[in-house]
Structure formats: structure tokens, C-alpha cells
């Protein structure tokens, strides 16, 4: 892989060299690889097919989770969240001890490996919120809860410069990886002042299907705002908002 440094940036394939643009800049690489039909049929590429199948399953699982929490994710994500989530879910797939290689799945793997996943590396929850919280999930009722005792925002939240207000958010996603469907509900506080005065106790609740046997992923986040002339604006378009997986409930 080579980087394009000229004034004119190329895109496409010329003389066996493919020119393309990525988030890392304009790059170029030599066209190559094995014929697709050979990969699909040659016994020598059995492992390649197995790896591809599981990678695809991880990719679909990541898309399912991202789509489920989209209402919160659109306010707190980085440009590499898709690849980072796929990588972590592939690790989950590989812990499946039930199915044969190439057929391993996310639900049969150790989904606990996803615990603590930050959807925005520019605003990690663990380095943003320093207030203790409790969370729980009642599978019988389908109710996920999050509670924080009163705390002083300027003491317990490391907010980016320019913050005048913030909001706490929480959500629960019920994920059916087989059917590629999900149920999601979220709750949030009002927009609160970022000052040294203790907040009231915070209790958030999100309810999914009662008695569900599917995996439940609980996420929590903080969104930052700046007040200008009485109007609230998402600070730097949400560049430093935090959102992370705080628990995963499986049967």
C-alpha cells in the first residue's frame, strides 16, 4: 500500500495499480489476489471460506447492534466504530465452543467480551464519568435500570471545554442475531447544568420483551451541550459524547 502525494489525486485502476481514497488519505496498491471462484470451491481455501463466513457473521452482528441503538449512536460515535465493533464481535464468535469452525455464532460465544466497548474513542465513558452507578436487568419483566446517586457534575464528569450542560442517556437492546431483528428502548435525563451543584438522584428505565431468551445489551452515555443565547447546541456536533456497553445479559 502506497500513499498518493501528488497534487492530482487519482481514483480507479490504471496499469494494475488501484487508486482509492480512505479516511487515512489517498492511497494506491497493486491489484492482485486469488480468483473468487477458486476461493469458493478449492479445498485448499477451506479455512479462508470458514474465516470469511465468521467475519461476515461478526459484521452483520455489528450492524444489528448499531442499528438497534442508532438513536443514541448518532450522537456518540467515531469514524472507525464499524471496524472496531466488527473486530470485537469476531473475537466473540471465536469463543463459540458449540458450533464447528466456520459456523460459530455471536450468541454462542462469550458476549461478555463486548463489555465496556466504547462507541466513541474520542469520548470514552470510563475517562468521562467518575460517578458511581448501579445497573440491573429483570428478565421476567424485561426492565433494564440505571441509577446514580446525587453528584456534582464538575467534580464527577470530565467535560470538554465549552460545556455548559449535559444529559445522561441509557438504552437496552434485545438482539436476535439469527433473524437479524432487534427491539430497543431508551431513557434520558433532562438537559442538566454543568456546575458544582449536586444533581438530583438519577433513575433511568428501558423495557424490552418480558421473559425474552435473547441477549440484552445495555448501554449508557453522556451528551454535552453549550448554551448560546438561550439555545442548547450539541457541543462540537457531539464529537466528545460518550456511549458504552455497560452490561450484557444472556440466558
The pTM (predicted TM-score) of the whole model is 0.84
60 pLDDT more than 90: yes
What confidence score (pLDDT) does residue 35 get? 64
All domains of the chain in start order, with CATH: 10-41 (no CATH), 125-249 (2.60.40)
What confidence score (pLDDT) does residue 26 get? 75
| pLDDT band, very low/low/confident/very high, at 17 (cuts 50, 70, 90) | confident
Q: Which residues contact 80 (CB under 8 A, 6 or more apart)?
A: 23, 121
pLDDT tens sequence across 154-202: 999 999 999 999 999 999 999 999 999 999 999 999 999 999 999 999 9
- Residue 144, classed as helix, strand or coil, is strand
Mean pLDDT calculated for residue range 136-156: 98
Amino acid at each position: 500500500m502506497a500513499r498518493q502525494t501528488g497534487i492530482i489525486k487519482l481514483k480507479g485502476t490504471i496499469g494494475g495499480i488501484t487508486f482509492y481514497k480512505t479516511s487515512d488519505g489517498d492511497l494506491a496498491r497493486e491489484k492482485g489476489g486469488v480468483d473468487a471462484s477458486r476461493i469458493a470451491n478449492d479445498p485448499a481455501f477451506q479455512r479462508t471460506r470458514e474465516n470469511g463466513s465468521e467475519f461476515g457473521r461478526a459484521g452483520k452482528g455489528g450492524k444489528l447492534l448499531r442499528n438497534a441503538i442508532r438513536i443514541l449512536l448518532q450522537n456518540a460515535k467515531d469514524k472507525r466504530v464499524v471496524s472496531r465493533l466488527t473486530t470485537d464481535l469476531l473475537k466473540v464468535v471465536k469463543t463459540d465452543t458449540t458450533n464447528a469452525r466456520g459456523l460459530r455464532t455471536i450468541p454462542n460465544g462469550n458476549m461478555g467480551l463486548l463489555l465496556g466497548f466504547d462507541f466513541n474513542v474520542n469520548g470514552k465513558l470510563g475517562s468521562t464519568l467518575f460517578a458511581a452507578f448501579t445497573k440491573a436487568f429483570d428478565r421476567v419483566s424485561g426492565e433494564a435500570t440505571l441509577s446514580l446517586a446525587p453528584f456534582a457534575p464538575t467534580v464527577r464528569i470530565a467535560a470538554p471545554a465549552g460545556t455548559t450542560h449535559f444529559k445522561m442517556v441509557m438504552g437496552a437492546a434485545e438482539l436476535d442475531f439469527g433473524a437479524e431483528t432487534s427491539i430497543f428502548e431508551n431513557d434520558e435525563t433532562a438537559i442538566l447544568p454543568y456546575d458544582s451543584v449536586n444533581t438530583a438522584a438519577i433513575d433511568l428505565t428501558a423495557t424490552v420483551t418480558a421473559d425474552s431468551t435473547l441477549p440484552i445489551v445495555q448501554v449508557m452515555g453522556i451528551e454535552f451541550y453549550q448554551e448560546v443565547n438561550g439555545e442548547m447546541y450539541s457541543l462540537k456536533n457531539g464529537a466528545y459524547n460518550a456511549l458504552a456497553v455497560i452490561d450484557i445479559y444472556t440466558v
